[in-house]
Amino acid sequence: MEQVANGQLSFEDELAEVKPYFLVNQSNSLINSQQDLTITERRIIYSLISLVQPEDSAMKTYVLPVKQLAKLIGIAESSFYERVERSIDELQKKMLIIEHKEKPDGPVTVVDKINWVQQATYIKRQGLVRVKLSDALAAYLLNLKSSYTKYRIGNVLKLKSEYSWRLYELLKEREPLQNKRVFKIAELRKLLNLEDKHLETKNLRSAVLDRAAKELKEKTDIYFEYEVHKKIGRRIDSFIFYIHKNVNKNNIEEAEESINYDLTTLINRLLRYNINQKTVSKWIDTYHPNYIEENLEYALRMKSGSVNNISAYIVKAVDDNYANSPFTYDKVNDLDNSFYSLSANDYLAKISFETTANIKALKETYDQFTKIITSKADTMSKEEIEILKKDREKQIIEQFERINESRRKKRFANLHSSDFQNEAALLPFIKKYEESQIDNDIPY
């Protein structure tokens, strides 16, 4: 990204807008890290994280109108610009601490200390702020396949306590599988950054846990109840939290735009794991979207070294309902899912159209070089022909990367070698490109 010149945006900058149905996707390691954020700082950071897309290959820079950001995080007074700038400045000084262990009950072997914000630029004449999250966060926000948690940003932006937000995340991590979580008091204090506050357990319960329980039940899609789990003598050692779906407080309106966002996210995840479009289309017509997603998540969580073909494993998981998902729908009478199916198939048709155009462009490049190589075969040395062939390979691979970057901006899954089954001449180049991406651990 180019630097701002004379207080202006570079040609690469795009204004970002946070929607309440955007998803926060983060590794469980990040959720269980030590954090020291005020509620305002948390709203800013996680609004930015909600802009991070699973298919992003690197951390991006986001440009937001300061006035909109102030409204989003609940700053209404006339000094909003100074308040936002001050909050972002403070964020640049703060770090999170992530401890890694070789074994769950073993000693800490690695400690990551990461600043939240890498750079912030204030374009005051235009009322804009340009923010880049730390590149070191990429390991905890991008290319997440297992051991991660997601939730809608709109569920937490209305929370007034940072403790409520942190408890929401910590419990949300366990909601899909166990619906309960045990915390030792010392662990809970560390995760809530309370090691020197509310030192008496009764104060911890009344000032933090009880208030958080009330706020989550009033404002989010989950609520919790808790009780003493274990005592050592007369001292409480741990609490157990029971996590429940808050079906009457689903605060995110399922408007057409939200449904389209959800389906494009799901479809692109499936395509990135090389599930062909025919199969995806069949699933959309047959299964509830939550059913598909739960079985996809199951396959990614349960995948082990013995699973050589993750794509085949995902197909088996969905078709055989490995996750025991209860979600079903009546294809005839369920209008919401009928709309979903129509929208999904329309989106798949757009992807097919784009893919056909992309392959045609790549084939044209290949044909142009091949025509030159063939026409000059008799007048050029073998070394010169090899140079032309290497140039052809370089041009095709660079074009392939540009095409994938364009597709990512449109929220289309990357092209995959499986898209080139009828273009055998292009396959070696595409596979070579894909092999070069293996080190990045990106599913294609």
Q: Residue 215 above 90 pLDDT?
A: yes
Query: What pLDDT does 441 receive?
Result: 41
For 322-352, how does the pLDDT look when each residue is reduced to its tens digit (9 = 90+)?
988 877 766 555 545 555 666 677 777 888 8
So where are the chain's domains?
Answer: 1-157, 158-252, 256-287+328-440
pLDDT above 90 covers what percent of the chain? 36
- Determine the average pLDDT of the residues in 392-415: 84
The domain defined by 158-252 folds into Arc Repressor Mutant, subunit A (1.10.10)
Residue 235 pLDDT grade (very low, low, confident, very high; cuts 50, 70, 90): very high
Q: 1-157 belongs to which CATH class?
A: mainly alpha
Cβ burial of 12 (10 Å; 0-12, 13-18, 19+) is exposed
Q: Do the domains 158-252 and 1-157 match in fold?
A: yes
CA separation for the pair 296, 150 (Å, rounded): 14
In 3D space, the residue among 109, 140, 10, 142 whose CA is nearest the CA of residue 63 turns out to be 10
Q: Residue 250 above 60 pLDDT?
A: no
For 128-168, how does the pLDDT look when each residue is reduced to its tens digit (9 = 90+)?
999 999 999 999 998 776 678 889 898 899 899 999 999 99
Query: What pLDDT does 141 receive?
Result: 93
Query: What pLDDT does 255 receive?
Result: 54
Range scoring the smallest mean pLDDT among 192-206, 386-400, 417-431: 417-431
How many residues are listed for the chain in this entry? 444
In 3D space, the residue among 328, 329, 340, 332 whose CA is nearest the CA of residue 254 turns out to be 340
CA separation for the pair 69, 23 (Å, rounded): 17
CA separation for the pair 16, 66 (Å, rounded): 11
CA separation for the pair 71, 85 (Å, rounded): 14
CB 221 within 8 A of CB 248: no
Residue type, 262: D
333: Cβ contacts below 8 Å, ≥ 6 apart: none
Query: What pLDDT does 437 receive?
Result: 64
Region for residue 441 given its phi and psi (left: phi exceeds 0; alpha: psi -120 to 50; beta: otherwise)? left
- According to DSSP, the residues that pair with 151 across neighbouring strands are 24
| Residue in the block written with tokens 């990357």 | 414
| Residue in the block written with tokens 């300061």 | 66
* pTM, to two decimals: 0.67
Query: What pLDDT does 143 receive?
Result: 79
